[in-house]
Amino acid sequence: MNVHSFDVGVFGAGPAAIAFAIRLADLGIEAAVFDRPTQKNTWRGESLTGAIRQPLSALGLWEKFCRADHVRGYEQRIAWGGPPWEKNSMFAVHGNFWHVDRERFDMDLRRAVVERGIPFINFSRLEQVENQGRMWRVGLDRDTEIDCRFLIDATGRSRVLARTLGTRPRLYDRLMAFTSLVARNSNSDFDHAMLLEATPLGWWYSAPVPRGHVLAFFTDPDLAPRRLTRSMKGVSANSSFLQSQTGERWLAIGDACAAHDPLCGWGVCRAMTNGILAADAVGHSLTHDDDSPIEEYRHVCHNQFESYLEGLVRRYSYEQRWASSPFWARRSEPARQLA
């Protein structure tokens, strides 16, 4: 039996997990990242607002990101609520969008963890999570036991740790994304343009990424045309929130805490920013035996999500052309009533 001990164990290896682990290491606290590799490629590509610069700079990763050949986005072409219109990034507060190869983006984040000397442990099965008072005992793959003072769930919408501990999220809708990566559009007008279009059954999104163009159609599973379910990859894109219990020495971050509708456009940025805030809170708690920053962090996340729901309802309400169709009728209600 292999036995290890760390201050903090981080389940997951996405943007929130990496931001948390790097920030905690910068604070001088030992963390380990536990990743369960999967063949499932969740997103073929993704568009990030210019606000992504802030968390990447805080982690010392901005220059590497700029050298990664992601596509700069200078224009949004939108058909939502009426005639098509265009929006140029020169009017955006944070500058241009970034249309990223999500596989490359995540791989670079993982490499940054390894380069910092942060332990990165792959596992296939979570065997045990036991609260032993001031310590957690974690069992992985029947041959590894790990003791940690604090645990982090950063496993995305799957919420592996939270579900193991018996905590379930509140779901606010059933949105799914059906995605595909296609060849780059030969028309150079689309080299740096993102397209967004509402339809009676949901909405389309398209953007250039380094390996082509990513297409995604967002709808509810019972409304999805059969031709899409057969030809495109379906992944969850719903809004959900998990409220971890006060006083427990574990925390959910990123999508495991608050998962957002891609229409908002800043899920990755918020995941990384809140990952940094969570690391500061956990670091303070472990070094000063004071949990008040953790409770404040939970309060911030709750308020953020409430504000997000209000904004999401408002954005969907701009489209009134198909108000009677099921997809849009469901989103005309307050989001906290959707389930």
Residues of the chain with pLDDT under 50: 335-336, 338-339
Integer Cα distance of 126 and 128 in angstroms:
6
Rama region for 111: left / alpha / beta (φ>0; ψ in -120 to 50; rest):
alpha
CA 43 distance to own-chain centroid: 11
Integer Cα distance of 246 and 131 in angstroms:
15
Which one-letter amino acid corresponds to residue 301? C
| pLDDT of amino acid 246 | 66
| pLDDT of amino acid 39 | 53
Rounded to two decimals, the pTM is 0.94
Contact 133, 150 (CB under 8 A): no
- Reduced to 3 states (helix: H, G, I; strand: E, B; else coil), residue 63 is helix
* E-state strands within 2-143: 2-11, 31-35, 46-48, 71-73, 75-79, 85-88, 97-100, 120-122, 126-131, 136-140
Q: What is the CATH number of domain 2-337?
A: 3.50.50.60
Strands 193-199 and 202-209: antiparallel
Which one-letter amino acid corresponds to residue 178? F
- The domain limits of the chain are 2-337
| pLDDT of amino acid 243 | 83
- Reduced to 3 states (helix: H, G, I; strand: E, B; else coil), residue 217 is strand
Instruction: Show the tokens assigned to 323.
Output: 């108000």
